[in-house]
Structure formats: C-alpha cells, structure tokens
Structure 1
Amino acid sequence: MDIATRVYNHKWKIDPIIRSLIDTDFYKLLMCQSVFRNKPETEVTFSLINRSTSVPLARLIDEGELREQLDHIRSLSLSRGESTWLRGNTFYGKRQMFRPDFMEWFENLRLPAYHLERVGDQYELTFEGKWHEVMLWEISALAVLMELRSRAVLNDMGRFELQVLYARAMTRVWEKIERLRQIDGLSIADFGTRRRHGFLWQDWCVQAMREGLGDAFTGTSNCLIAMRREVEAIGTNAHELPMVYSALAADDTALAQAPYEVLSDWHDEHDGNLRIILPDTYGTQGFLDHAPDWLAGWTGIRIDSGDPAAGAEVAIKWWQDRGEDPQDKRVIFSDGLDVEKITELHGQFAGRTKVSFGWGTLLTNDFRGLVPNDGLAPFSLVCKAISANGKPTVKLSDNPEKAMGPRSEIARYKRVFGVGEQDHIDVLV
C-alpha cells in the first residue's frame, strides 16, 4: 500500500476516517454486550477531554469537516460480512462470544446524535443516551479527531515530501520491531486504535508487526483490522465499567462494592483470558486489599497507570498472599509504552509471571520530530463517561494526573477507597 499517495490524493468520501462500526476496539464490543445485558436503562453522557491543552484542536480542525466525519459515522451499520464474523468467529477459544440478542440489536444500530460546540481553541463534543448506544462513540470520536489533526498538518505537503515522511516513519517502526525481536518470549499486541495517526497507518503497523515478530505478535485491539488481516482480536474491559457502576451507587457502602460488582457481572459472561482485572480505577493497592477471594483465581491483571513496575510488584505479592502462583498469572502492561520500557519491564518480570504488552500510541502514532515544530507529535486526548443517570463519574487512577471528576466527588472517592498521597507522573499519551 502506498500510503503517501493515498494521503496526497485524499478524498475523504473514498477514504473516510471511520469505515465501519467495528473499526473500534474489541473490548468496546465486549463491554457493550455486558452493558446491554446488565444496565440497559442507564443514561450516560460521554465527553471529549483534551489533556494536552497546548494542542488547539479547534484552530487545527475545520468544524464543518469534523461534522461531516461524525455524520458519516451515524450513517454506518454492520455489513453482512462483519455480522457473520462476529457471530461465527472464535474469540479466545470461545465460539459465539456475542449472544444472538445482542447481535440482533447491534445489526440494527445507528449511533445516536452528538453535540458539538467550539469553546475557545477547543471543541466541546458530547454524546448522551442509553449507555450501550453512546459508549460506541468513544473510539470513533477519538480516531476522527486524531486523524483530522494529522490531515491538517499533512495537507500542504507535496507528494515527495509525503513519501519521505512515511518512509522515515516506516523505518522508525521497523527499527522498533527489530529491537523487539531480540526479546525472548515476547508477547505483544496492537492497542493503538484510539490515538492512531490514521486507519491506513494502523493497518500498516499491524502488518509490519505480524511479519516482523511472528508468533510474538498476538493480535490487534481493532476489530476491523483483525477481521481483514485474519489476526486475533484482543481486549477485555476498561475503566468505563467501574466508573459508571460507581456513579450509580446509592451510598458509600454500595460505592465501595461497585468495582467488584462490575467483575461479578463480567464473570457471569466470560472465562479464560477475558478474566483480566483492571484494578487502578480507584487505586490498585486498595482494590486488591479489599478484593473478594474469588478474584485471586482470575487469569491476570492489566497495569494501566502509575509506575508499571510497582503495580506489577503489588499484583505479584497479592497473588502470593492469596495462595496463587504468580507464574500462572498474566500481567498486561498497557500505559505509555515504547520499546525501551517494554524491554525493561520484560527483563524485570519474565519468569516471575506471564508478561504481555498492549502497545498503543507510540506504535500507531509516533511521528515525533518528523515534521517542523513537531506538529505530528502524539498528544493526550480521551473521551470518557462523565455522568450516569445524572450523577458525575469519577476516576482516581494510580496517577493523579489522570484523575477526573468534580473535586468534592474525588475527595469522597479517595476517602471511600482509602487513597492517600500518590506520585505524579507526566502523561504523554
């Protein structure tokens, strides 16, 4: 694929940013089915949050073009081939991962309306409605904004300039892959959909990873690419579930139990590798200290904030204290990874536990230093559930730089979950 020529000759109606409702992360569909079953009447609001305020999205991205892309997404529905893949494929060794009632609903889905408003140099973009409907906007909205920002920077570049740019970016990715080849026993997947440079680029990165790493490359979080390239779709669950369940809690006692209620509902639906704990929404240490015994029997843990090595050590000690062998468990690192950190963490924990990596933004969007003024450098953009049934959501994280929610509610959650002082870690992506 000649990406540079496709970019130079760009006509978005031929190359829309979002090509399919399954151009999303696999865990979104898994969570959507869980919400469809367990919380079908919950009303949720999602909102765009640009943590990198130095990136003026409203000055870079034309509002009309943004609306066109969002309207295009609302026109999408599952194709017959996509439906067949979801209904009939085997995921994590399980056939019919998606139940017939969920699939019937999904096949008839059109995404609900959005609200877009320019506020200064940023966009206010929100989605309101039934949780299982609006939640599917998250990945699409992020991918649209990230790619429109890329297109704005690339728009005035000539054909040869683009060819050189992509040649340099491809060389950078391949050099990273060559370094990863040296890691014995590596297990790594693409987690880069939400902040990718563009769909074509993510697709190229997946193909490069598959060719360059062989069996060490375990798959991609992107369902459309997984289907087209015949690789595994990878994913479990995300902070969204405990954030909304917690917002629905009637009192502090119910709030303290909400993160475990999430996993109880999840346990009813899944087994095997899908039984991965994401413990950091309200602090990893407190979550594990108060976790019910049955959670110790789950497959593993995903580390997504704070000091990753410290988080893995906490998990290993917790398993040992609960009579579990850490060597039988899996630790998935997924926060801000690049080759140096992957190499370091693998060297530190291989042999002590099963180590895996979900490599995101710095796989699918590392154009740092390749254009003037570093205009393609990745930045931290999220789209989060900010309220549920009219009550605000809260995320504490193991890094206070990632915390979100009203101050009074953050203070309440810290008290309920016993979160004390935390180390501040700069958020790149």
Structure 2
Amino acid sequence: MVDIATRVYNHHWKIDPIVRSLIDTDFYKLLMCQSVFRNRADTQVTFSLINRTSSVPLAKLIDEGELREQLDHIRSLSLSRGESTWLRGNTFYGKRQMFRPDFMEWFEALRLPAYHLERVGDQYELTFEGSWPEVMLWEIPALSVLMELRSRAVLRDMGKFELQVLYARAMTKLWEKIEVLRSVDRVRIADFGTRRRHSFLWQDWCVQAMIEGLGEKFVGTSNCRIAMKRDIEAIGTNAHELPMVYAALAEGDDALRQAPYEVLADWHEEHEGNLRIILPDTYGTKGFLDGAPDWLAGWTGIRVDSGDPAEGAETAIRWWEERGENPRKKMVIFSDGLDVEKIVELQRQFAGRVKPSFGWGTLLTNDFRGLVPEDRLAPFSLVCKAVSANGRPTVKLSDNPNKAMGPAEEIDRYKRVFGVGAQTEMDVFV
C-alpha cells in the first residue's frame, strides 16, 4: 500500500503528477463524449471554472506556475496501449465493445486543446474553448488539479510525523463510516468522488478501503483509471452538460422545451439497461416529468442530484405509478452531497419501494473536516461547466435555485418555458 504521507511530503517529485492519464476521469464523461462525437461533434463550446465558495482564495493558495505546469502535463497525455485495450475490450454494464471503433480511433489520437488561464483578484479564470468532444474532456482533470493543488498548499508546511498523523486520522474517519454502512441491509454504493477528491492517491486508497470494507455493497467507481487498476466496475451514465448544450442550441421556445428529451432520445438509441438513467433536474424535475414522453417511463431509473433527495424520490415514484410502471423495479440513484447519515436514512426510507443506490462523492474522497487548524482542508464547491455553445449562453436551473447558472435574462426565460415555479433554496455544500 502506498505511503501517502511520505509521498505528500515529497509532493514535488515528478512521480506524482496530479492527473496521470486521460482515463483518470469519470466514466460518464467518456460515455457522453462518444454520444457527442456521434451526434454533435461540430458544436463549439466554452467551459469555465466556477468557484462557488469565494471564501477559498485559489489564486492566493496556488502558484500560477505550478498550476500551468500541471495543466501543460495534461495536454501531453495520450491513451496508453493498455488503456486503449481496456476501453475497447472490457465489458461495461454487461456490454462488450461499449466504445465504437470510430470513437476509439479519435480518442487514441487526442491531445487536449489549449486553455486560457488568468488571475482575477484572489481567484483564477480558467476557460477552455473548441469542439465539444475535445473541450468536455478538460472538466474532470481541471477540477482534479485545482482541488489537489489546494490540498498540497495547505499541507506544504507540515512535517513528516504531522502528515502521518493527519492521514491516520483521515483513514480512521473513513473506516468508521464504512463500519456504519456495513450494517445497512442491501445498500449499494459507488465512488463518485473524482472531481473534488483530496488527491488521486487518496481516492485510490478510499476505493481500496471500500472494496475491503463493504464487499458486494460497493458496486464500483466512476474513475476509469482506478476501475482499470483495481479491476472493478466503472460506474456512470450522463450529466447536466448534455441538456444544457442541447438547450442552448435550440431555435425558439418550442425547441427549447423539447431539448432535454432530444438528449435522451439520442441516448436511447445507443444504450439500454442500467445506462438508461434519467437525470431530470436540469430545468426542474417536476416539469420535466410532467412533459416527458411515455417511452421514458420504461427506462431503468432516475438520478436525484439536487433539491431535497427524499422529495425527488417521492416525485419519481408518483410519476412511475401514474405511467403504469412498478416503482419497486426502478432504480433511484442519490448523488447530491451525501454522507453516511443521509445514505442510511434514504436507504431505510426507500428500500422495498424502489431500488436505492448511492453515488458517494466529496465526503468519501475529501472529508478532512476538522483535521487541520481553521478547517483549511474542508471541502468547497468548485465546478467546471459549459457556459456557451455556438456562441449562445447555457443555462442550468436545478431543483435548488442556489445551483442555477447562466445570464439572468436567460434564467428567467428558461423558467418561463419550463414552467418552473417557486423553489426552495438549499445550501450548496459541494
């Protein structure tokens, strides 16, 4: 097992670049990338870093030269032969050759495009522009770099023994969570923690702990490189990015209203089974389900990613019942700001009514709360989102208005088109 504390103490070593591979990313990014490559390859997009926790001054903590060095390293990466073989030949979600030959040929030749980095006050402005399939693959590595450089900045002045004690406490903290989850009947948990992890080495350690501690209750990881390395399932379906860009490209209000369903129609052609998971909250869950075509009710499940998770699950159950579907056969994936207490509560509330599953993210792979003075390693909310498509702004409404993004006038338009009424504000933890 890697001695993480020693590696952190010597973090300037070249053996520890933050992002080590183009598949050190979430599985859903590759699935979405293939879909975009097939259906919208010529779309030009801009992605931008957004620090929703302004109290964390990234530009004061992170040296710009070090940040550029890590980003430049990512641009030098390409798929290794072993990674290509794994993607081409492995079975994902019961399907062999998940990734088509034309997509793999493109991916094997890919180098990520240029970035734009500028310091603005105490924050960094980091943007990526170009064709959608290329630019979208910057999101996860860019977030991983910023998150880990922030961790390294906080830990830089710690001594060897102090670091050993810190990581021993963090390991104990996670293992105590695992012990709680062990006792929960039929719980199913996946690691969704790549984008806001403390570090790559720490995420890998957390996954190994989950494998040993939870056995079959741990169903896999979203991180492709770790899935390949540890020979476990790669987990993930689709994300808000697809409807956000499709909606931005829509001509007129009627086309805008149909854009989220157009996304899933394209997805329906390509995937089946447990990859047919609806993410309904981009422009409000209730309105999305009320207007959904009947064929979507036959999909395998729904992911609840904003708003009150229990309320989201109840909304889905009512919708399935109204459409003549049996909710007990449907999967509900909870994935918003989870920790052990909420996982246990939701499992007990919905077990037997649906098939609950949990995508455990930041508080699995980055819970160092209370372990350093002034809580300087506490998680914070950092995202990298598509902000424009073919020159048009993107919009996300969410079931939590505090997660909304886009120009104010466009947000108002989208609320009108999608019939979004009053919403309950909830704190955005991550």
Q: What is the distance in 1 between the residues matched to 2:402 and 2:14?
A: 38
Report whether the alignment pairs 1:404 with 2:405. yes
SS of the residue corresponding to residue 156 of structure 1 reads coil
Overall identity of the aligned pairs, in % = 83
Q: Hey, what does 2:129 align to over in structure 1? A: 128
Q: Hey, what does 1:274 align to over in structure 2? A: 275
How do residues 129-278 of structure 1 correspond to structure 2 at under 5 angstroms? 129-278=130-279
Q: Hey, what does 2:25 align to over in structure 1? A: 24
Q: What is the distance in 1 between the residues matched to 2:149 and 2:382?
A: 13
Q: What is the distance in 2 between the residues matched to 1:10 and 1:334?
A: 31
What amino acid maps onto 1:355 in structure 2? P
What amino acid maps onto 1:62 in structure 2? D
Q: Hey, what does 1:6 align to over in structure 2? A: 7
Q: Hey, what does 1:366 align to over in structure 2? A: 367
Q: What is the distance in 2 between the residues matched to 1:13 and 1:124?
A: 26
What amino acid maps onto 1:230 in structure 2? D
Q: Hey, what does 1:394 align to over in structure 2? A: 395
What amino acid maps onto 1:141 in structure 2? A
1:291 Cα deviation (Å)? Answer: 0.1
Q: What is the distance in 2 between the residues matched to 1:23 and 1:365?
A: 17
What amino acid maps onto 2:296 in structure 1? L
Cα displacement string for residues 6-50 of structure 1 (whole angstroms, at most 9, x for unaligned residues):
111223421000000000000000000000000010000000000
Q: Normalised by the size of structure 2, how large is the TM-score?
A: 1.00
How do residues 309-348 of structure 1 correspond to structure 2 at under 5 angstroms? 309-348=310-349
SS of the residue corresponding to residue 46 of structure 2 reads strand
SS of the residue corresponding to residue 196 of structure 1 reads coil
Cα displacement string for residues 64-86 of structure 1 (whole angstroms, at most 9, x for unaligned residues):
00000000000000000000000
SS of the residue corresponding to residue 363 of structure 2 reads helix
Q: Hey, what does 1:375 align to over in structure 2? A: 376
The Cα RMSD (Å) is: 0.4
Q: What is the distance in 1 between the residues matched to 2:14 and 2:262?
A: 44
What amino acid maps onto 1:269 in structure 2? E
| Stretches (4+) displaced over 4 A | none
Q: What is the distance in 2 between the residues matched to 1:160 and 1:262?
A: 52
What amino acid maps onto 2:403 in structure 1? K
Which 10-residue stretch deviates more, 223-232 or 12-21? 12-21
Q: What is the distance in 1 between the residues matched to 2:10 and 2:368?
A: 20
Q: Hey, what does 1:413 align to over in structure 2? A: 414
What amino acid maps onto 1:339 in structure 2? V
SS of the residue corresponding to residue 313 of structure 1 reads helix
1:107 Cα deviation (Å)? Answer: 0.1
Q: What is the distance in 2 between the residues matched to 1:48 and 1:275?
A: 29
Q: Hey, what does 1:426 align to over in structure 2? A: 427
Aligned length: 429
Q: Hey, what does 1:40 align to over in structure 2? A: 41
Q: Hey, what does 2:350 align to over in structure 1? A: 349
Which 10-residue stretch deviates more, 334-343 or 3-12? 3-12
Q: What is the distance in 1 between the residues matched to 2:11 and 2:368?
A: 19
SS of the residue corresponding to residue 151 of structure 2 reads helix
SS of the residue corresponding to residue 136 of structure 1 reads helix
Report whether the alignment pairs 1:305 with 2:306. yes
Q: Hey, what does 1:49 align to over in structure 2? A: 50
SS of the residue corresponding to residue 236 of structure 1 reads coil
Cα displacement string for residues 101-158 of structure 1 (whole angstroms, at most 9, x for unaligned residues):
0000000000000000000000000000000000000000000000000000000000
Gaps of 5+ in 2: none
SS of the residue corresponding to residue 356 of structure 1 reads strand
Q: What is the distance in 2 between the residues matched to 1:347 and 1:93?
A: 28
Q: What is the distance in 1 between the residues matched to 2:13 and 2:349?
A: 45
Report whether the alignment pairs 1:106 with 2:107. yes
Q: What is the distance in 1 between the residues matched to 2:5 and 2:60?
A: 25
Q: What is the distance in 2 between the residues matched to 1:369 and 1:40?
A: 45
SS of the residue corresponding to residue 398 of structure 1 reads coil
1:219 Cα deviation (Å)? Answer: 0.1
Q: Normalised by the size of structure 1, how large is the TM-score?
A: 1.00
What amino acid maps onto 1:113 in structure 2? A
Cα displacement string for residues 278-314 of structure 1 (whole angstroms, at most 9, x for unaligned residues):
0000000000000000000000000000000000000
Q: What is the distance in 2 between the residues matched to 1:404 and 1:421?
A: 17
Q: What is the distance in 1 between the residues matched to 2:51 and 2:353?
A: 37
SS of the residue corresponding to residue 135 of structure 1 reads helix
Q: What is the distance in 2 between the residues matched to 1:12 and 1:149?
A: 17
Q: What is the distance in 1 between the residues matched to 2:11 and 2:47?
A: 30
